[in-house]
Amino acid sequence: MATEGDPSDLVKVLHLLVLSFSWGMQVWVSFIGGFALVWQVTRHTFGLVQSKLFPVYFYCLLGSHFVSLAIYAAYHPRELLDAHETVQMGLYFMALVTAGLNAQWFGPAATEVMFLMREVETEHGLGNQVGLGAEKEGYAKLKERDPKYKAYKRTFGRYHGLSSLCNLIGVICTTTNLIYTALNLSTI
């Protein structure tokens, strides 16, 4: 592995801690916290919690991905990268970009539309049921009767889908980088 100088032990520890922090946060928010919460609180409470949690989550990811990329780039000059290191650098960059897209555009846009949907649902007595499967018929009827709600639902689905895709790409990038790092523990 060609590097520009050897990182100190402190830099190695910082790099591994930041990368582990990112991965742990992504796994918890993406695969554990949300699924546990959706079955324990009402739909509107779930949306409110997510609206407060996601900005913090996305900006923590953005910051940690930036630090990971900066540390990796500082010790792996572009001119000296081999194929694996080039892939790893690309993955750090991709994770940074996807976190940035979520922090700046997809997350806030989905939240804004979610609150618009919530207003319409509240007017029709929906949203205070626990679990996503509750009142499916009521939501389907509302979507049929209210074109504004139907448009909100479509827009929310688009932003939520793009946000979820960015998040999944970020999880894959971070997981792959963690694997690369684990396979090269003597270096970063």
Nearest to 44 by CA among 151, 106, 134: 134
Could you tell me if 77 and 93 are in contact, meaning their C-beta atoms sit under 8 angstroms apart?
Answer: no
* 129-155 residues labelled b (16+ CB within 10 A) or e (exposed): beeeeebeeebeebbeebeebeebbeb
**pTM for this entry:** 0.89
Per-residue pLDDT at 1 exceeds 70 = no
The pLDDT of 165-169, averaged and rounded, is: 98
User: What is the number of helices (H) and of strands (E) in the chain?
Assistant: 7, 0
CA dihedral 83, 75, 91, 111 (to 10 degrees): -170
pLDDT band at 156 (very low <50, low <70, confident <90, very high): very high
Predicted pLDDT at 188: 59
Could you tell me if 30 and 171 are in contact, meaning their C-beta atoms sit under 8 angstroms apart?
Answer: yes
Per-residue pLDDT at 108 exceeds 90 = yes
